[in-house]
Each structure stands twice: as C-alpha cells, then as structure tokens.
Chains A and B, each alone.
Chain A
C-alpha cells in the first residue's frame, strides 16, 4: 500500500530506513517472542514427529503420534470439553460483564468503584486460594451449595457436584467465570463512560427507549472493547488448567478432561513428550483458526 507510488530510488531508500527503524523498535520484543515463543513452537512441531521420552534418544516415527491421536477417545473427549468451555464461557462472560457494567455505571461514583473492585477480587485472590474455597462450597457432605439447595427444596438430596459427570464440567465453568469477569467489567465500565454523551441525550430526546439507545448508540461505540474482551476471554478459557488440576484431575470419567490437562498428563506423568507435543500442535492450529475467525469478524463489523 505504501509502495503505491512510483518505486523510485528515493522512496526505496526511505522505505529501507523505515524498515530498519521499525526493526530496531521491534528488536527487544522480538528477542523474547522469537526466542521463547516461536522457537519452542517450532521445536514442538519438530518433536511431534518423534517418539520422545525421558532418558533415551528420540526416535523418528513420522506421523504415528498423529495417527494415534485420531484413535484416542480421551483426546477427542478433551477436545470436546475444551471447546465447550470456550463456547460457553466466552459469550456468558461477555454478556454478564456487559450487564453488570451497564448497571453499575449508572450508580454513584463510589458505588461504581466499590462494585468494580468486588468483581475483580477473585482475579487477585489467586486461583489456588479461590479453588480451595470453591471445593469447600461444592463439598458433597456439608458443602454450602447442598445446604442451601436442600434447605430451599431445589434439590431433594445432596449432590456430589464435582464427583458427578453431569455437573463437574459445569462447576468448572462456573468457577472459571468468577475468575474471568473482573477485567471485562472494568473495561466495559470505562467504555460506557466514554460513550459520547451528546448522542445519548439526543437519542432520548428523540423518544428512543433505553434499550434502543443502548443498541443504536452505545453498543457500536463499544465494539473495539468487545473485541478486546472476546480475545482475552478466549485466551483465559483455553488456559483453564489450574482449576482442573486442583479440583478434578480431569475426572470423573474424563468429564472435565481438557486438551491442556491431557498434554500435561502425557508429558509429566507418562513422559510421552512426542505425543504431548502432537496434541499441542493440533491445539495451536485450532486456536490460530479461531483467532483468525474472530479477527475477520471484528474487522467486518468495523
């Protein structure tokens, strides 16, 4: 696009200068990025063609790891669960945080600020601590959820929330939600703050309802924020690991098994590095695809 003009000597020289300057600016980042993300990713692809384990040289086996993956039911289960987590938690996080932000932004400043902090608390409390408390709340024998549930008659007997394959994944998603809405709420509040007030007033003078004002005026202006939130929430959901490691180890009956946990399990419990890496490659491809789709959508809407 820049080269649309005639490519004479002068612009070429300018272009070179600009490129050199750009890479000097990029250099510090590139050292870290190429050295500790791109290179390991490359090694990951490479190792996925080997039978690699501890204590002996790697053996080249071609696509055998991938072939084994295709026939591994736990892998497919893990893939399914990972996608469920992402597909449920991303929209719910976005909608929930938008609703909360919309409500608290209309409150007095002190209240807005207090609520913003409160919804951020699980993020700062740390996953290990939050998980410990939730485990207690979900406890089969005396957990508070069962207590409230039976007291109000919603459930007729105690449910083993984390031990029942019908509920375990839902519980994981619920905890994930509480630790991931903090930032979206903060961002939405500030985005709502920055919405052009004159447009909002003009629209209500025109007799538009709150809902109409929201959709016609506020929502379009918040699109960049929404896209940003979509991106970080997707990242968050894919990285959901500590919860599973600390609560269920992928059980019961693999109902909370995710690709991430399965990679970890293969690499660190069974020392199957090549197999784990092959899974990593598949996951990376899926994520790259998803990111591309998100971006295409984001660009079109703009």
Chain B
C-alpha cells in the first residue's frame, strides 16, 4: 500500500521536475544553438528550434571585430590577438584571483573567529553579519573615489578587491571551523605545533569542503559580477567578456548572434569549473550550528 502510494508521488514529482528542468536548460540551449544560427534564423518570428544551417559567422565576428594585445607587462606588449580571447583571460584571472584571495583570507579569519577568544570579537562578528547582505551599489560612489585615489581604477584589481573584502566567506568558513573539535587543536598544540602549523595541518584539512564550496561560490559570483566590472573597467584591454561583448554593439541595434556567441564562450569555462568542483558539494558539507 504505502509502497504504491509513494511511487505515484515519485512519478508525479519526477514529471514535474523534468518539466522545470527543461525550462532551466532552455536559456543555455538557446544561446548555444543560437550562436551557430544565421542572421535570418535569429531574426525569425517563429522560433527556429534547431539551426536550419550551422554557421560560424557569429564567432567570426566575435574574433575579428576587435583586437587587443595578449598581455601588457611593464611596457612590453604581447602579440595582438582577438580581443575576445583577452577578455576571457581577464575574466579567468579576475575570478581565479578573487577566489584564491577570498579562500585564504576567509579561512584564516573564520578560524580566528570560531576558535579564538579575543578582544573585539563580538563587535567584529556583528559587523560582518551586518555587512554581508550589503549590496555593492550602496558603497559604490565612495568606492570609485577610493579606487581612483589608489590608482586602481580601470584595473582588474578594482573588480577583485571588493569581492575579497565582502565578508560572506568569513561567515561561511567560521561555521565550518566551529565543527573542528577543540581537542584536535589542543592535541596539535601539545605536540608542539605553533599557530600556523595548527591552522595549516589541522584546521585546513578539516574545513576543506567549506573551502571548496566557498571557492566555487566566489568564482561564479565574480564571473557574474557584471555591475562592478561595468563601473570599474573601461579600457578595451581590461574588459571582461560580458562587458566586452556589450561594447561591440552598434547604436539602436543589437546583434543577438554576436551576443549569444560571446555568452556561449563565457559560459564554457565556468561550467567546467562547476563540474570539477562539484564533488566538494557532495562530499559531506555539514554546516555547523550558528553561534554568535
């Protein structure tokens, strides 16, 4: 009886979830197939579900319309390449750097907040909690003034630094550090390990799933942080991929094919990152209880 009832429920929900899943897959499907469509297919009023003819035109435009040097290093300028490649390199650099910096700073700070008792701890934690949900638009104007005073405006650092300063990662890793048994830290101490050793050899391995989760979260967040990039970056060679594609549009006409080709190009690396890191999600994320 009970068996049968459950299976009916399961089937119904399976069907429902499949329908929703199709809806979720659709944008990416549409963009990827769209990037290979002809202009006529793209402009068609009746949806063209499958390209009537596969063409590379959109990618050709993407790769030929703008150029940029591969790198600029203390006055040395690299070979000239399609700007789209440079934009992807920029985006990867920006996301990877924010990811690494965030993970390192957040793990250290999270450990201190979770396992140490010190003067000012309560105030600092309240500040972190309050600042966590703060939208970046709020502090935008002072931030621009600050970045230009530090000569960081129109460099990728201007997009990276606000992400690293955002306290969400600290909050997350603090929760994970709460789960590290105090005895293990004590034991390491008794064995004569210093602060740094204890942190690196005992704490970090235990909060690895948390760091993995934070890494992917930060990577995707900074990859998609369209607004900060829009405001902080202007030069052709400093743009990220999503900004770059936007600058290739003419007045009052949107080249959807170009937009889709660029979006497809931008989505590929991030999907790879997701697939590589997703094991961290499955390997037992147990979030610790929340304590002030």
**Which residues of A approach B to under 8 Å, CB–CB?**
1-2, 15, 18-19, 21-26, 28-30, 32-33, 35-41, 43-44, 47, 99-100, 103-104, 106-107, 113, 115-130, 132-134, 136, 141-142, 144, 178, 183, 186-187, 189-191, 193-194, 209-210, 223-225, 227-228, 231-232, 234-235, 238-239, 241-242, 260, 263-264, 267, 273, 276-277, 280-281, 283-284, 287-288, 290-292, 295, 298-299, 302
Q: Does B76 contact A (CB under 8 A)?
A: no
Complex partner residue of B141 from A29, A32, A107, A276, CB under 8 angstroms: A276
Taken together as a complex, chains A and B put the C-alpha atoms of A221 and B113 apart, in Å, by: 24
Q: Of residues 115 to 168 in B, which have CB atoms within 8 Å of A's CB atoms?
A: 116-119, 121, 124, 127-143, 145-146, 161-162, 164-168
Please state if B139 and A37 are interface contacts (CB–CB under 8 Å).
yes
Please state if B226 and A127 are interface contacts (CB–CB under 8 Å).
yes
* Secondary structure call for the B interface: helix
Complex partner residue of A144 from B6, B47, B136, B274, CB under 8 angstroms: B47
Residues A19 and B105 in contact in the complex (CB < 8 Å), given A40-B142, A126-B263, A239-B136? no
Which residues from chain A contact B101 at a C-beta distance below 8 Å?
A: 32
Residues A129 and B31 in contact in the complex (CB < 8 Å), given A190-B281, A224-B175? yes
Sorted nearest first, the 9 A-B pairs with minimum C-beta distance are A129-B263, A280-B138, A43-B142, A32-B165, A29-B109, A40-B142, A40-B139, A25-B112, A22-B118
Please state if B142 and A116 are interface contacts (CB–CB under 8 Å).
no
Which residues from chain B contact A122 at a C-beta distance below 8 Å?
A: 24, 27-28
Which residues from chain A contact B281 at a C-beta distance below 8 Å?
A: 116, 186-187, 189-190
B128 to chain A, nearest CB (A): 8
Taken together as a complex, chains A and B put the C-alpha atoms of A134 and B101 apart, in Å, by: 34
A-B CB contact pairs (8 Å), 25 listed? A1-B117, A18-B116, A25-B116, A26-B113, A28-B104, A32-B165, A33-B128, A33-B170, A37-B165, A44-B139, A116-B278, A123-B224, A126-B226, A126-B266, A128-B242, A129-B260, A133-B26, A190-B282, A193-B284, A224-B290, A235-B168, A263-B138, A277-B141, A280-B139, A295-B129
Please state if B140 and A267 are interface contacts (CB–CB under 8 Å).
yes
Please state if A267 and B141 are interface contacts (CB–CB under 8 Å).
yes
In addition to A24-B195, A144-B47, A273-B141, 14 A-B residue pairs with Cβ atoms within 8 Å of each other are A32-B164, A36-B161, A37-B139, A118-B21, A124-B270, A126-B226, A128-B242, A132-B259, A133-B30, A133-B31, A178-B23, A194-B285, A224-B287, A241-B137
Residues A21 and B116 in contact in the complex (CB < 8 Å), given A117-B275, A123-B220, A127-B226? yes
Taken together as a complex, chains A and B put the C-alpha atoms of A210 and B6 apart, in Å, by: 9
Please state if B220 and A124 are interface contacts (CB–CB under 8 Å).
yes
B136 to chain A, nearest CB (A): 7
Q: Counting chain B CB atoms within 10 Å of each CB, which of A33, A120, A124, A194 scores highest? A: A124
Q: Does B59 contact A (CB under 8 A)?
A: no
Smallest CB gap from B179: residue in A: A224
Which residues from chain B contact A33 at a C-beta distance below 8 Å?
A: 128, 131, 165, 167, 170
B interface, size bucket? 35 or more
Which residues from chain B contact A106 at a C-beta distance below 8 Å?
A: 10
Which residues from chain A contact B162 at a C-beta distance below 8 Å?
A: 36-37
Please state if A190 and B284 are interface contacts (CB–CB under 8 Å).
yes
Please state if B112 and A124 are interface contacts (CB–CB under 8 Å).
no
Complex partner residue of B138 from A44, A129, A187, A194, CB under 8 angstroms: A44
Which residues from chain A contact B259 at a C-beta distance below 8 Å?
A: 128-129, 132
Complex partner residue of A263 from B117, B137, B220, B246, CB under 8 angstroms: B137
Which residues from chain A contact B118 at a C-beta distance below 8 Å?
A: 15, 18-19, 22-23
Please state if A28 and B220 are interface contacts (CB–CB under 8 Å).
no
Complex partner residue of A292 from B13, B14, B130, B263, CB under 8 angstroms: B130
Which residues from chain B contact A115 at a C-beta distance below 8 Å?
A: 17, 21
Please state if B14 and A103 are interface contacts (CB–CB under 8 Å).
yes
